[in-house]
Amino acid sequence: MLEFAIPQFLIDAGAFIAVVAIVVFAHELGHYLVGRICGINAEIFSVGFGPPVISWVDRAGTRWQLASIPLGGFVKFEEGAIIESRGPAARGSEAPSAKHSLKCRAATVAAGPGASFLFAIAVFAISAFATGVLDGRAVVGELNPLPMQANDFEPGDVIVAVNRVEIGSIFDLHRYSQTEDQSKEQIYEVLRGEERLEISGPPPVPSIVADVVPDSSAEKSGLLPGDVVVAIDGEEIRTFTEMRNRVVESNGRMMEFRIWRDGETLDLGLAARLDMRRSADGSGEVVPTIGVMADLFFVPQFYRPTPFEAIWLGTAQTWLIVVRSLEGLALMSVGAISSCNLQGPVGIAALSGEAASQGLSSFVFFIAVLSAAIGFLNLLPIPVLDGGFLLLFGIEAVTGRRPAPQVLNRIFLVGAVAIALLLGFGLWNDFFCP
């Protein structure tokens, strides 16, 4: 059978175009709908910039188009509807913008970021409702197949301690696996209904392969999700931390992996790939990696939230993205973290392709994250962005006067230059940051 591998750059490009189209459409639809409610006519609704690839005109006279440069989009309202457009020769005549109130204009502009946030909340909420969410506690669901004993656990058991270390959540269990001694016997205290039991079991995060990164050393060597690494170069391996340490110590040399798979053992040769990793301060280091994900010895129990809980979870997730974005900008501005954390279109395309490669749920989650980030970015008080327009409207509300057209032209020129520099800086990071 013939196999055809799609080049990664085509996957990245296709995923990037799809992500931008969806996120931009949701954002611009907010502008469009509120503008129409306020009686502001829209001349063009465009996803992308430049010459249109596909376009049509609806009954209201709005041209809907998909343009050739997938780096954003816009809604072009009737001339002067949002911002004063009169030139010196027209000062004696009434501008079209006079018929639209400040509240309507501000609401139309604010509706773009608002729609981005609402879209993110909706996607997060629907995803939570459809797939379920983790119980906050360390509740055992399905047991992962392992060569070591774990059969005494039952679905619904709540882990409250390991070797006398209290466990309040799944995150505590992961933290325990990274900080506590796992070479000795692991004694779990669990709640099973009204009973409190002690159960001997495997390390919380054994040397199980939860997932394999596409095109990684692990995939090329034949490792599969569900495999358990029991030895490397003849030395017994019990935990994922032990496996990771051996991989790092190998410095890229060939290693002999002994794998337990469905009750049988087999040997695989595997050499780690030397990847450059960038830390928050911008420094880079070479780290040997094989491309596998860790997992607990059990699948945590999920529960299906109510619609109201799902909406609350979606709102909290969106708010967290906004807060983290603010923190990131603040830390970059004072040099606490590297400006290399700011990525441009190429970096976002790579992230889009990676999310798409990990499956539909990861791709949808990435779209929601980007939508929330776009909503936040557009609220920055930079001219030509929505936040810049809202700042001008605030000045107009306080002073009772609109800035002169000549002043507006200079302001928007400065804003356009700032956006161009920001885009160029992101592209520089994409190609030259470690």
Each as own residue / partner, the long-range contacts of residues 43-52 (CB below 8 Å, 24 or more positions apart, any chain) are 43/76, 43/77, 43/78, 44/74, 44/75, 44/76, 45/75, 46/73, 46/74, 46/75, 46/76, 47/20, 47/21, 47/73, 48/20, 48/21, 48/24, 48/72, 48/73, 49/73, 49/74
- β partners of residue 312: none
Pairwise CA distance, residues 294 & 211, whole Å = 8
**Alpha-carbon distance 271 to 286, whole Å?**
15
DSSP H helices, 85-203, are: 102-131, 170-179
Residues 6 or more apart whose Cβ sits within 8 Å of residue 240? 177, 205, 206, 207, 208, 294, 295
Catalytic residue among 28, 189, 242, 354: 28
Q: What is the DSSP letter of 318?
A: H
The residue type at 353: G
**Is there a contact between 335 and 167 (Cβ–Cβ < 8 Å)?**
no
**Which residue, among 408, 411, 416, 414, has the nearest Cα to 86 in the 3D structure?**
408
285 is catalytic: no
Q: Strands of 145-185 (E only): list them.
A: 158-162, 165-166
Closest CA to 346 of 429, 252, 228: 429
- How close are the terminal C-alpha atoms of the chain, in Å? 40
Give catalytic residue positions: 28
